[in-house]
Amino acid sequence: MASTDSNESAETDCIRIAFKTRHSPEFTEGTLCRYPDGGYTVTADKDIQGIAPGQYAIIYTPDRRICLGSGMISIPQGRKNRKRHGES
């Protein structure tokens, strides 16, 4: 995996994904990034309403055929004011 954004650290690995959250039966397209500190972020391509810390996101391959895993949604320390992946 390689960084897909020049604004991200050279050590940040990002991949394209589809994901679901508890409140929506539809898939959302986005990016999953892994950081050197062991943290991950999921960034949706479009704004999503109703997401809150404590809910879960289920991560799928972009073709939506394989579930890669899930994780609890939180506000990452030190990344609260980070720009969305791909924004200038």
pLDDT tens, position by position, 22-52: 877 899 999 999 999 888 999 999 998 888 8
Tell whether the model's pLDDT for residue 65 goes beyond 50: yes
**What pairs with residue 72 in β-bridges?**
56
pLDDT value at position 42? Answer: 93
pLDDT at 5: 46
CB 36, CB 11: distance < 8 Å? yes
Q: Whose structure tokens read 């004011």?
A: 81
pLDDT greater at residue 35 or residue 86: 35
Counted residue by residue, the chain has a size of 88
> DSSP letter at 64?
S
Question: pLDDT value at position 76?
Answer: 66
Number of CB atoms found within 10 A of residue 17's CB: 21
